[in-house]
Amino acid sequence: MLATLGSLAVTVLGLLFVTFFIGRVMPIDPVLAVVGERASPEVYADARAALGLDEPIPVQFWYYLREVAQGDFGMSLLTARPVIDDIARVFPATLELATLGVLAGVVLGVPLGVLAAVNRGSWIDQIARLVALVGYSMPIFWLGLIGLLVFYGILGWVGGPGRLDVFYDGLVPTVTGMILVDAALAGDWTVFGNAFSHIVLPASLLGYFSMAYISRMTRSFMLEALSAEYITTARVKGMSEWRVVWVHAFRNIRVQLLTVIVLSYANLLEGSVLTEIIFSWPGIGYYITNALLAADMNAVLGGTVVVGTIFIVLNMLSDLLYKFFDPRAR
C-alpha cells in the first residue's frame, strides 16, 4: 500500500511538472490577457511581477506546488472566480455524461463481445467486429453533428445543445450538480425528462465509443477463456452451453474486464472534450477549451491537473481491484 501511494505521489508530481512546463512554454502570454495589448511597458512589468512570472522557472514551480497543495489553482481570468470553484461547478456535468456513457458501453458491449466470441467466424462475429471497427474509426465530432441534425433538427426526438431548456434552468436545487440526480431527488420529473432528452444523444455517442472498446476486449478475453482445457472438460461432462459460457468462462475474465471498464471510464472523463464542445455541454472539457481560447492559463492548468489526477487515480484503482479479485496477481 505504501509503495502504491508513493507511486501515486510521484506520478501526480510528474503530472504537475509537465502541465506547468507546457503552460510556461506555450506561445500565450497570460499578462496580456490581464492588462491588454495596449498597456504601457510599466503596467505590463508590474502585472508580470504580480503574477510571479518574473521569477526563475524553478521558483515559479515551487510557488505553484505550494498553492496546489493548499487546493489553490489561482483565479480564473475568464470568470473572475477561483479555478477550484469553477472546476467543482463544471465537473459534475462531465461526471454525469461519462457515467451514462460507460454504463451504456458496458450494458451493450459485454454481451456483444461474449456473443461474438461464442460464435467466432459467423455473421454475428463479423457484425460485432464491424460495429467495433466503426466505433474506433468514425470521428466523434462528425457523428455528433450528424446526430444533432437528424435526431434534433429533423426528427425532434431529443433535446438540443446544453443540459436543459432555458425555461427549466434553476427550477431544482443543486445538490450533486448532476441534473438527473438533482431532479430525481427533488421529485421534479418534468425537469428530469427534459434533462434526459438533452443528455441521451451525447451519452449515446460516448456509450458507442465505449462499447466498441469494451466489446472488442470482451471478445478477446472470451476467446482465450473458451480455448482453455477446463472449458473442454466442462463440455465433455455435458454441461449446458449457457453454463459453460457464463458461469465458467465469463467468471474467469471478470477481473480483466473490470480493469478495462475502469480505464474506459477514465478515458471518457478526460476525453469527452469534443463531445462537450459540439453539444455545448458545460463540463470540464468545455471549460478548459474556453479558458485556452481566452489565454486563461490558471484555468487550463487547473483543469488539466484535475483531469490527469483523476485518470491516474482510476488507473491505480484498476490495478488494486485486479490484485484484490485475482489472488494470482497479489
Superfamily of domain 83-329: MetI-like (1.10.3720.10)
Give yes or no for residue 156 having a pLDDT over 90. no
At 82 the three-state DSSP class reads: strand
User: Where do the H-state alpha helices sit in the chain?
Assistant: 2-25, 30-35, 41-50, 57-69, 83-118, 123-137, 140-147, 179-186, 189-226, 229-236, 241-243, 254-271, 273-278, 284-293, 297-325
Cβ neighbour number for residue 206 with a 10 Å cutoff: 25
How far the first Cα of the chain sits from its last, in Å, is 12
When pLDDT is averaged across residues 269-287 and rounded to a whole number, the result is 85
The residue whose grid cell reads 495596449 is: 38
Whole-number Å distance between alpha carbons of 42 and 169:
45
CB 34 within 8 A of CB 75: no
Q: 198-207, 242-251, 274-283, 315-324: which range is least confident on average?
A: 315-324
Three cell numbers written together for 324: 484484490
When pLDDT is averaged across residues 246-253 and rounded to a whole number, the result is 84
Burial (Cβ within 10 Å: 0-12, 13-18, ≥19) of residue 75 = middle
Three cell numbers written together for 60: 515559479
Give yes or no for residue 133 having a pLDDT over 90. no
Cβ neighbour number for residue 13 with a 10 Å cutoff: 11
Whole-number Å distance between alpha carbons of 141 and 205:
10
CB 322 within 8 A of CB 255: yes
Question: Could you tell me the pTM of the whole model?
Answer: 0.84
Which 8-state DSSP code applies to residue 75? Answer: B
Residue spans per domain, the chain: 2-69, 83-329
Whole-number Å distance between alpha carbons of 194 and 184:
12
At residue 211 the predicted structure's pLDDT band, cuts being 50, 70 and 90, is very high
The residue whose grid cell reads 460495429 is: 131
Average of per-residue pLDDT values in the chain: 84
At residue 13 the predicted structure's pLDDT band, cuts being 50, 70 and 90, is confident
Summarize pLDDT for 68-122 with one digit per residue, the tens. Answer: 888 888 888 778 888 899 999 999 999 999 999 999 999 999 999 999 998 888 8
Which 8-state DSSP code applies to residue 81? Answer: S
User: DSSP for 182-248?
Assistant: HHHHHT-HHHHHHHHHHHHHHHHHHHHHHHHHHHHHHHHHHHHHHTSHHHHHHHHTT--HHHIIIII
Q: What per-residue confidence (pLDDT) applies to 98?
A: 92
CB 151 within 8 A of CB 158: yes
The residues, ordered by sequence, that sit 6+ positions from 235 with a Cβ below 8 Å of its Cβ are 241, 244
* Per-position b or e across 233-255, b if 16+ CB within 10 A of its CB: ebeeeeeeeeebbeebbbebbeb
When pLDDT is averaged across residues 199-212 and rounded to a whole number, the result is 91
Which 8-state DSSP code applies to residue 330? Answer: -
CB 73 within 8 A of CB 305: yes
Three cell numbers written together for 165: 431548456
Three cell numbers written together for 117: 466470441
The residues, ordered by sequence, that sit 6+ positions from 326 with a Cβ below 8 Å of its Cβ are 255
